[in-house]
Amino acid sequence: RAVGVPRAHESAALHVLGQATYTDDIPELQGTVHGALGLSGKAHARIVSTDFARVRAAAGVLAVYAVGDIPGLNDCGPIIHDDPVFADGVVMYVGQPIFIVVAETHDQARRAARLADIVYEELPAILTPQAAKAAQSYVLPPMRLARGEFRQAFEQAPHKVKGELYVGGQEHFYLEGQIAYAVPKEDKGMLVLCSTQHPSEMQHVVAHALGLHSHNIVVECRRMGGGFGGKESQSALWCAAAAIAAFKLKRPVKLRADRDDDMLVTGKRHCFHYDYEVGYDGDGRIAAARVDMVTRAGYSADLSGPVATRAVCHFDNTYYLSDVEILAACGKTNTQSNTAFRGFGGPQGAIAIEYVIDEIARNLGRDPLDIRRLNFYGGEGRNVTPYGQVVIDNVIGALVAELEASSDYRARREDVAAFNRASPVLRKGLALTPVKFGIAFNVTHLNQAGALVHVYVDGSILVNHGGTEMGQGINTKVMQVVAHELGVDMAHVRATATDTSKVANTSATAASTGADLNGKAAQDAARQIRERLAAYAVKLYGGDVEAVRFAADMVFVNGHEVRFPELVQKAYLARVQLWSDGYYATPGLHWDPVTMSGNPFSYFVYGAAVSEVVVDTLTGEFKLLRADVLYDAGRSLNPAIDIGQVEGAFIQGMGWMTTEELWWNEGGKLMTHAPSTYKIPGVSDCPDDFRVALYNNSNATDSIHRSKAVGEPPLLLPFSVFFAIRDAVSSVGGHKVNPPLNAPATSEEILNAIAAVEAAVAQGA
């Protein structure tokens, strides 16, 4: 079997040898010149005048292009076309591109970009989601999902909890920054080599910006050094700007962002502010829940609509909520336009209910795990989500029970309490948090994919599909699927760069669906070739087509054994078509955006994590001591890759929850725009004891070999780190007070929470 086995990433050797080519490593063509963007210095202002004389006079400069120089449309936004390539009359955030300067070298372009003389007339700026809400400033109409009678159920509930929470955004910090290399071709053709999760979208954006058709443009991406959602829509600006310059100059133009520009220009994970009201009974069972969320969308819509929708559809997480009202608004602010980031709003929806459950448990003096379990989906009449999808594959109860036992949760709860009794300064905390995550694009039509499989006369196999490789191992999984289908070792299969001229009209590799969709499409292509080969083999050797077997590089037919390449050779001479396209569209999906109901997801994945931390109550520092994770990857296509995905997402999510703080000054300038001021987890932040396992399960839905998606959902697992920190802080007040802890739980935030707990205790709480 080529599937279901641990196999190394198809480029692992190239990665470690430094031989894997990223866009910037592609040998440059003769005549290549380099671009840099000139950025707005104001959060919101009218551009009174622009003077590029000093830019043009700078060493090596060849040209400057601004809004008036765009041959086609000044638009690089997805869905709702409200994102200009270059500012047109007004600037809407500090960092918004106003022009591109092209010079002989990268360094010359960067130096020149700073020399523009721009006169602004400043306008009032809105910087926070709360301010946007107060001003009713939204990029899209607010959304509402309701079931049952929240208000009535809340009023009747014996216990109530109300409060607010703020959860910050997150910079993608892909190791490879945004980059596009635009190469003009004959007769209005343009080849764009770039780092993107969405080659088809780049093709459309470049065609529109140049006033051309899609068939003029070819977009190619062999791999990214990480995307994490940040290259789903926001690679478009870089592609468009490079292509405009290349088109005008008739020379290849490379536009590579340095880290500060990348962080200043591009959007990030959406931060959220929540107001919540929840009613519950004496056991801790939720009777009524209401959340009012507002997010910082930034200056344009980008993907904020689907992100907010996913937040709404993940507020329930693993819990059945009978009477519920969920509100979400996308605040229009004078900041970067926030975008997709691993989880796509799902984590921001689910964290709110986890915060509430944590409070309920503390109010009742119970272990939060007991309150969580009490509210799980499952049991009579408790399996329909607030948006109307029936949960048919629920395994959360059994999965959590397994993790509770394997992590020794109950005994360690005692140990932590004993430690804290004897330790006034260092405090330990423990938490178990569960995850349920819906798989499919919540925009139904995006759930389709295509692939192309070529079997060459020598028996070697080439696969091309619409998905993009960002390190997650999609090519490895697709190669495994093709190898499995044709009964050959994976070593005989090669995957090539994603290319819009090979597979057309692809969706972004996103929503964790890449391997699901493209794996099915590649399987469809390979199966057609196998069927033709099987029919031909029966012609040669007789027997039943259904009985022909492809395995171990051999074909078994009617008592004969033929080597796969030998059969291929014969089939070629007999004029059998040895290549095929393949296509897949996920069945059973529908969604009504008006009522916010339907069947948006193909299936759910589940998982849970236990984290144990120690907090220094004098400095606010914390250390994750041990993490135990159990993740439901169905029948994993590749357990080695899936465990790697779970580990990576866990650490990335821990960074979001703890150290990664985005901070804008009063003028709206993002001051945390480099690793000197923005702290992602380092290797020493990983727990010494990290136990990641896959839950033994099979997908109830007919997914590719019954596997389940793994890309995004594990990002929610380190909620357990956040709640373990909150547990440690809570111990300072004898677990009598709910610590007001926002995310990220930086040292400063932890110290503030400790001070608040101590103050409440001093007042006799």
Q: What does the binding site for ligand MTE look like in residue numbers (CB under 6 A)? A: 226-229, 342, 467, 470-472, 474, 509-515, 645, 648, 711-712
For residues 334 and 339, give the distance between their C-alpha atoms in angstroms, rounded to a whole number. 15
Confirm or reject binding of residue 443 to ligand LUZ (CB under 6 A): yes
Q: Which stretch binds ligand LUZ (CB under 6 A): 439-447, 605-613, 637-645, 671-679?
A: 439-447
Q: How many residues bind ligand MOS (CB under 6 A)?
A: 10
For residues 725 and 583, give the distance between their C-alpha atoms in angstroms, rounded to a whole number. 47
Q: Which stretch binds ligand LUZ (CB under 6 A): 28-36, 392-400, 464-472, 505-513?
A: 505-513
**Are residues 36 and 110 in contact, defined by beta-carbon separation less than 8 angstroms?**
yes
Q: Which lies closer to ligand MOS via its Cβ, residue 3 or residue 510? A: 510
Amino acid 215 reads H
Q: Which lies closer to ligand MTE via its Cβ, residue 9 or residue 669? A: 9
The pair of structure tokens assigned to 53 is 């004389």
By a kind-dependent CB cut-off of 5 to 8 A, residue 521 interacts, out of ligand MOS, ligand LUZ, ligand MTE, none, with none
Confirm or reject binding of residue 344 to ligand LUZ (CB under 6 A): yes
Q: What is the torsion angle, in degrees rounded to the nearest 10, for the CA atoms of residue 50, residue 55, residue 57 and residue 61?
A: -130
Give all strands (DSSP E) within 620-748, no chain letters: 622-631, 689-694
Determine how many CB atoms are found less than 10 A away from the CB of residue 586: 22
By a kind-dependent CB cut-off of 5 to 8 A, residue 471 interacts, out of ligand MOS, ligand MTE, ligand LUZ, none, with ligand MTE
**Of these, 110, 342, 520, 726, which contacts ligand MOS (CB under 6 A)?**
342
Q: Phi first, then psi: what are they for 634, rounded to 5°?
A: 60, -140
Cα–Cα distances in Å, from 626 out to 187, 239, 611, 685? 60, 43, 6, 11
**3-class DSSP state for residue 328?**
strand
**Are residues 333 and 374 in contact, defined by beta-carbon separation less than 8 angstroms?**
no
**Of these, 126, 271, 286, 340, which contacts ligand LUZ (CB under 6 A)?**
340
Q: Give the footprint of ligand MOS on residues 147-206 (CB under 6 A).
A: 197
Tell me which residue has tokens 């006033």.
211
By a kind-dependent CB cut-off of 5 to 8 A, residue 200 interacts, out of ligand LUZ, ligand MTE, ligand MOS, none, with none
Confirm or reject binding of residue 344 to ligand MOS (CB under 6 A): yes
**Are residues 246 and 107 in contact, defined by beta-carbon separation less than 8 angstroms?**
no
By a kind-dependent CB cut-off of 5 to 8 A, residue 310 interacts, out of ligand MOS, ligand MTE, ligand LUZ, none, with ligand LUZ
**Of these, 97, 229, 368, 739, which contacts ligand MOS (CB under 6 A)?**
229
Q: Which lies closer to ligand MOS via its Cβ, residue 99 or residue 341? A: 341
Q: Phi first, then psi: what are they for 516, rounded to 5°?
A: -60, -55
Amino acid 149 reads E
Q: Give the footprint of ligand LUZ on residues 670-729 (CB under 6 A).
A: none
Confirm or reject binding of residue 232 to ligand MOS (CB under 6 A): yes
By a kind-dependent CB cut-off of 5 to 8 A, residue 441 interacts, out of ligand MOS, ligand MTE, ligand LUZ, none, with ligand LUZ
Question: By C-alpha distance, which of 653, 657, 626, 630 is closest to 642?
Answer: 630
By a kind-dependent CB cut-off of 5 to 8 A, residue 515 interacts, out of ligand LUZ, ligand MOS, ligand MTE, none, with ligand MTE
Shortest gap between Cβ of 659 and ligand LUZ (angstroms)?
25
Q: Which lies closer to ligand MTE via its Cβ, residue 374 or residue 449? A: 449
566 is catalytic: no
By a kind-dependent CB cut-off of 5 to 8 A, residue 306 interacts, out of ligand MTE, ligand LUZ, ligand MOS, none, with ligand LUZ
Transcribe 171-238 into DSSP letters. ----SS--EEEEEEETTTEEEEEE--S-HHHHHHHHHHHHT--GGGEEEEES--S--TTTTTSTTHHH
By a kind-dependent CB cut-off of 5 to 8 A, residue 664 interacts, out of ligand MTE, ligand LUZ, ligand MOS, none, with none
**3-class DSSP state for residue 570?**
helix
Shortest gap between Cβ of 339 and ligand LUZ (angstroms)?
9
The DSSP bridge pattern shows strands 579-585 and 448-455 to be antiparallel
**Are residues 74 and 67 in contact, defined by beta-carbon separation less than 8 angstroms?**
yes
Confirm or reject binding of residue 291 to ligand LUZ (CB under 6 A): no
Q: Which lies closer to ligand MOS via its Cβ, residue 248 or residue 342? A: 342
The pair of structure tokens assigned to 526 is 């390979």
Shortest gap between Cβ of 280 and ligand MTE (angstroms)?
34
Question: By C-alpha distance, which of 428, 424, 763 is closest to 618?
Answer: 424
The DSSP bridge pattern shows strands 493-495 and 461-465 to be parallel
Shortest gap between Cβ of 302 and ligand MOS (angstroms)?
12
Q: Which lies closer to ligand MOS via its Cβ, residue 256 or residue 342? A: 342
User: Which of 164, 712, 749, 758 is an active site residue?
Assistant: 712
Confirm or reject binding of residue 304 to ligand MOS (CB under 6 A): no
Q: Which lies closer to ligand LUZ via its Cβ, residue 306 or residue 644? A: 306
- Residue with the CB atom nearest ligand MOS in the bound state: 229
For residues 488 and 480, give the distance between their C-alpha atoms in angstroms, rounded to a whole number. 9
**Of these, 510, 533, 715, 745, which contacts ligand MOS (CB under 6 A)?**
510
**Of these, 511, 529, 633, 729, which contacts ligand MOS (CB under 6 A)?**
511
**3-class DSSP state for residue 332?**
strand
**3-class DSSP state for residue 543?**
coil
Question: By C-alpha distance, which of 444, 412, 423 is closest to 626?
Answer: 412
Confirm or reject binding of residue 399 to ligand LUZ (CB under 6 A): no
For residues 324 and 289, give the distance between their C-alpha atoms in angstroms, rounded to a whole number. 5
H-only helix segments in 78-126: 106-113
Tell me which residue has tokens 């840099």.
36
Which residues contribute to the site for ligand LUZ (CB under 6 A)?
Answer: 232, 303, 306, 310, 340, 344, 441-443, 446, 508, 510-511
**Could you give the residue numbers annotated as active site?**
712
Which residues contribute to the site for ligand MOS (CB under 6 A)?
Answer: 197, 229, 232, 340-342, 344, 510-511, 712
